[in-house]
A and B are shown apart, each in its own frame.
Chain A
């Protein structure tokens, strides 16, 4: 009887060894979640140095993406950065101005009326009539000089535009695309 039981047990064992039913869907995900939950507190202290294992894809790729984004932004900023300058000297006839103000207007359309053009910058002339505007965005400009009053040097209140013109609509435009080393502007003394 016992012998028979052993034989039957062996056969049953063999039969059940081949019994491999498919576990229900989602079993692994449930185990995974529990494993992750268990591991989380153990992993936390390992992050002693934030840059440890920086070469691992999960750290390296985001770092490379951020660096790339930074470089692209830098290039764009350098490309559009205002980097032009306009410098020149103002005269009354052949005499350097000793006093006065230079006004720079950014202009998009030469036909636009003067009062629609915004003043970009102004600067005082030095004692020999020099002026300088730096870090300008590229574009076209209108330059106006106001002489101011200087009794010592016989200067009266006069003004004029680049191109030695009295009126804005006949003035010449300055362009950063074709810059000159020095712009010379002469204001007629006798009007």
Chain B
């Protein structure tokens, strides 16, 4: 904790060595977050850069009430949401028919994939599905929190999540079919 505090203080003084150290410590983990929230790798790079710029400029607001990593992660999630706001606004306007089956085996099948494939499937989702899926399933936000964060209703959040799951199931089925065809 003391080392972390020292690192933050050095960053606040503008010490480039400390800034690089902080980057090295969190870049890989945060790039993982960026890849999940982005539609493609280039967008993930943009989020990574913008996220770190925001981290360094907001660092003086860090009050040591939560772990630094959690604080940085929130900044990255907010950055990702801000950078895809246009896309999100468009996607959230699409009304979804609630009540369809997401499929109970969907997530089990999803989890059997390797990480790169999982990330690719998530990236292929429309911005709204992708963001809500990331926030709800992976980051553990509630629909109420997601609604507040994205400026949508709880029900919209729920329907976006169902849409994400439906879309993922479709993609997983396509993957399974193409695998089967290859085996034959």
Q: Name A residues whose Cβ lies closer than 8 Å to a Cβ of B.
A: 1, 4-5, 8-9, 11-13, 15-16, 19-24, 27-28, 30-32, 34-35, 38-39
Contact = CB atoms under 8 A, between A and B. Distances in A.
A19 B27 CA distance: 12
Given A12-B137, A27-B49, 8 more contacts: A12-B107, A15-B115, A20-B31, A28-B20, A28-B23, A31-B23, A31-B52, A38-B57
B125 to A, nearest CB: 15
Interface in B89-127: 104, 107-108, 110-111, 115, 118-119
Contact of B27 (A1, A12, A23, A32): A23
Given A28-B27, A31-B53, A35-B53, A8 B48 contact: no
B48 A23 contact: yes
Q: Which 10 A-B pairs have the closest CB atoms?
A: A20-B28, A8-B107, A19-B32, A23-B31, A31-B52, A23-B27, A9-B137, A19-B115, A16-B138, A20-B29
A31 B11 CA distance: 14
Given A8-B107, A28-B23, A39 B36 contact: no
B151 interface: no
Interface residues of B, number: 33
B82 interface: no
A20 B115 CA distance: 10
23 contacts: A4-B104, A4-B107, A8-B108, A9-B137, A15-B118, A16-B32, A20-B32, A21-B32, A21-B35, A22-B28, A24-B45, A27-B31, A27-B48, A28-B20, A28-B23, A28-B27, A32-B20, A34-B49, A34-B53, A35-B16, A35-B19, A35-B53, A35-B56
B140 interface: yes
A36 B82 CA distance: 23
Contacts, number: 74
B14 interface: yes
Contacts of A31: 23, 49, 52-53
Contacts of A23: 27-28, 31, 45, 48
A15 B110 CA distance: 12
Q: At the interface, is chain B mostly helix, strand, loop or mixed?
A: helix
Which of B35, B36, B52, B139 has the most A CB atoms < 10 Å from its CB?
A: B52
Q: At the interface, is chain A mostly helix, strand, loop or mixed?
A: helix
A18 to B, nearest CB: 8
Contacts of B35: 21
A11 B31 CA distance: 20
A27 B45 CA distance: 7
Contacts of B32: 16, 19-21
Contacts of A19: 32, 115, 119
A8 B111 contact: yes
Nearest to A16: B138
A12 B111 contact: yes
A31 to B, nearest CB: 5
Given A19-B115, A21-B32, A30 B49 contact: yes
A78 B118 CA distance: 78
B107 A5 contact: yes
